[in-house]
Amino acid sequence: MYAKTQAIPETVKVQSDNGTLRLQFSTKYNPIFGGKRKHQGLGLKDTPENWQKAIAIAWRIEGDLQHPDWQQLFDPSFAKYGLKTKYAAELKLAAPIPEPEPEITVGEMWEDYLVWKQPQLQPTTFELLYRISYTNPIKGKVYDKKNRVYLMLDNPLWDERLDGKIIECLSRFTCCAATKRSIISALSEAFLRLQSQEKTKLRVNPFAGIDSSTTPNKTDKYKSVVNVDGTVDLRWWDKSDTETDPEERDRRAFTKEERDIIIKAFYESEKANVRQAAPLVEFLFLTGCRSGEAFALEWKDVFLGRDKDCIRFSKSYNGRLKNTQVPKTGETRIFKIYPKLENLLSKIKPVDAKPTDLIFKQQNSKTWYIGHFAKLWNTYELKCSQKTYTYPGVVTQLVEEGKISVYLSPYHTRHTFITLMAQAGTDLLLLAAACGNSVDVIQRHYLGINTEARFPDI
C-alpha cells in the first residue's frame, strides 16, 4: 500500500485488498446495504495514481451520502462515480440511513433511576433526599425563604440531554456543596445504570470527575496530609466516610456542661410548650437515639425492672410523611437503661400509662415531629399580614447570651451522647449496638486516635 498524501473521508475509506483497491463503508451505512457492512471493489490496482483516484471517488460518494437529499444523489450502481458496470454492485436500497437517536434527557434518566432506587431506601430517605433535596436542583427549583415559594431557573439540568451542557447546568446549582456532591454522585450512579442497560451511546460518564466545589470539613480530624511534592501520607485510619446523611456526617458535639445547660434551660423556660419538651430533650441527650425514634416510642417499648431494664427502638415517626416506619438502619435496637435514664423515665411515667401511649407528646397530645420541635430549639419566624414575628429558640438564645459556645442542631444530641460515652470509656461494642452505629465509625470520628498505643509485652 502506498502512503496517502491527502486527507481521506471519514465514513467511506479506501483499502488495499490483495493488490487491488476497494471502498470500505462505515457501519453507519449498514441499513442501506441490507444490514451488513459493505465493501465495494474498484477494479483498480494498488498504485499511487490509483490511490489518488480512489480517494476522489470516496469523497464524492461520501458527499452524496451525507447530503440531506442523499436518496436522490447517491447512485447504488456506482456508475455515477466512473466505475465500470462489471465492477459495480447491483444494489437496492434496503432502508434510508437512520438519523442517530438523540440521547435522553437528564430528567428522563433520573425518573427511571428513582423507580429503581426507591425499594432500596427508607421511605423518609427517599422522599426527603431523593424526591426533594436532590430532584429540586435538577429541575431548577430554588426555594425562596423570604417569600416561601419555589423559583424556577432557566435551562435546568432536567431538560438537558446527556451529551449536552452538563457542567454548565451543574454550575448553576444553588444548594450547599455537600448536597451538590451527593447529587452528582447519584447522577453518576444513574448514568452507569443506564450505560449497563445499553440505553446510551455515550462511553464517558458525563458526571464523573466533576468538581463539586466542596470545602473540606474543618472538623475532619483525620484528613490526609498532602506533602509539598504532591504525595499523600495515608494514615491507618484513612478511609472514605460512606455516610450520605449530612446530619450524620457532621459529628460535632456539645460538652457535658453545655448539655446540662441546655436541658436546664428547657425545664426552667417561662413557656409551657418549651417545658413540655424538656423531658424529650433530656431523653435525646441521655440515649443518643434519633429524634424520630423518640417521637414514636411507646411505654410498651420500655422495660423497667431488675431482669430487663432496657428500651426497644423498633420504629421511627416522620412528621412530613405522617407515618411510622422502621428505624433508619432497618433493625430493632436494644438500649440498656442506666441510673440517670431510669430516673428520668420513672419521673415522667404516668400512673395510669397504657402500653400503647406515647412517652413524649406535645401539649395538645399530638405526636411530636421535627418541624415543631426544631422551632423550640432554633429561632423561627412567623409571618402575619405585613409583619414578621421572630421567636428565638432555647439553644439559639443560649448562644447569644454566651452560655454555650456554639449552635448545633437537635440531631447533635445524638453525637453528644456518643462522644461523651466513648470518651468516658464505655465498651464500644455496647455503644455501637445501642446507637445503631459501628465501632469503626466511633473510633474514627468520636474518639481521638492514639498513635502512641502499643501492644503490651505479654
Residue 227 has pLDDT above 60, yes or no: no
Q: Which of 116-125, 248-257, 422-431 has the highest mean pLDDT?
A: 422-431
DSSP H or E run through 233: strand 232-233
Q: Where residue 234 falls among pLDDT bands split at 50, 70, 90?
A: very low
* Range 129-167 burial, b when 16+ CB lie within 10 A, else e: bbeebbbbbbbbbbeeeeeeeeeebeebbbebbbebebe
Half-sphere exposure of 324 toward its Cβ, with a 13 Å CA cutoff?
Answer: 12
State residue 180's pLDDT score.
85
State residue 45's pLDDT score.
83
How far from the centroid of its chain's Cα atoms is residue 396's Cα? 30
**Rounded average pLDDT over 39-56:** 81
pTM, whole model, 2 decimals? 0.52
Residue 390 is which amino acid? T
Residue 238 has pLDDT above 60, yes or no: no
State residue 197's pLDDT score.
83
CATH class of the 256-445 domain in this structure: mainly alpha
CA angle 303, 305, 308 (to 5 degrees): 55
How far from the centroid of its chain's Cα atoms is residue 429's Cα? 29
Q: Where residue 259 falls among pLDDT bands split at 50, 70, 90?
A: very high
State residue 229's pLDDT score.
46
d(CA 134, CA 128): 9
d(CA 120, CA 111): 15
Q: Which of 34-43, 310-319, 382-391, 446-455 has the highest mean pLDDT?
A: 310-319
C-alpha distance from residue 95 to each of 30, 34, 87, 448 (Å): 9, 8, 23, 70
DSSP state of 300: G
Q: 120 has which bridge partners?
A: none
**Rounded average pLDDT over 225-237:** 45
pLDDT in tens, 356-407: 999 998 888 888 888 888 889 987 767 666 777 777 889 998 988 899 988 8
**Strand 380-384 with 387-391, pairing:** antiparallel
- Poorest-confidence range of 32-46, 180-194, 278-292, 441-455? 441-455
Residue 448 is which amino acid? G
State residue 27's pLDDT score.
76
State residue 42's pLDDT score.
80
State residue 307's pLDDT score.
64
Residue 90 has pLDDT above 50, yes or no: no
Decide: 79 and 27 in contact? Cβ < 8 Å. Answer: no
Owner of C-alpha cell 511534592? 229
Decide: 438 and 292 in contact? Cβ < 8 Å. Answer: no
Half-sphere exposure of 93 toward its Cβ, with a 13 Å CA cutoff?
Answer: 14
Residue 18 has pLDDT above 90, yes or no: no
d(CA 330, CA 355): 23
C-alpha cell of residue 3 = 502512503
Q: Comparing 271 with 91, which gets the higher pLDDT?
A: 271
In the β-sheet with 310-313, what is the strand arrangement from edge to edge? 302-303, 310-313, 333-336
Q: Comparing 238 with 328, which gets the higher pLDDT?
A: 328
Decide: 295 and 374 in contact? Cβ < 8 Å. Answer: no
Q: What percent of the chain has pLDDT over 90?
A: 17
Q: Where residue 86 falls among pLDDT bands split at 50, 70, 90?
A: very low
Residue 141 has pLDDT above 80, yes or no: yes
Going through 273-349 in order, the beta strands assigned E by DSSP cover: 302-303, 310-313, 316-318, 323-325, 333-336
Residue 232 has pLDDT above 90, yes or no: no
d(CA 293, CA 284): 10
C-alpha cell of residue 166 = 452538563
State residue 277's pLDDT score.
93
39-46: list long-range contacts, CB under 8 Å, 24+ apart.
39/15, 40/78, 40/89, 41/17, 41/87, 42/83, 42/87, 43/83, 43/84, 43/86, 43/87, 44/20, 45/19, 45/20, 45/21, 46/1, 46/2, 46/16, 46/19, 46/20, 46/21
Residue 82: phi and psi, rounded to 5, are 85, 15
Three-class DSSP category at 134: helix
C-alpha cell of residue 78 = 456506482
Separate counts of helices (H) and strands (E) for the chain: 17, 14
State residue 96's pLDDT score.
53
d(CA 37, CA 11): 12
- Poorest-confidence range of 10-14, 107-111, 254-258, 412-416? 10-14
State residue 454's pLDDT score.
59
- Poorest-confidence range of 241-250, 280-289, 327-336, 367-376? 241-250
Going from N- to C-terminal start, the domains of the chain cover 12-87, 106-196, 256-445
* Average of per-residue pLDDT values in the chain: 78
> Which parts of 43-143 fold into alpha helices (H)?
48-66, 70-73, 106-117, 123-124, 135-139
Judged by phi (left if over 0) then psi (alpha if -120 to 50, else beta), residue 330 lies in: left
Residue 122 has pLDDT above 80, yes or no: no
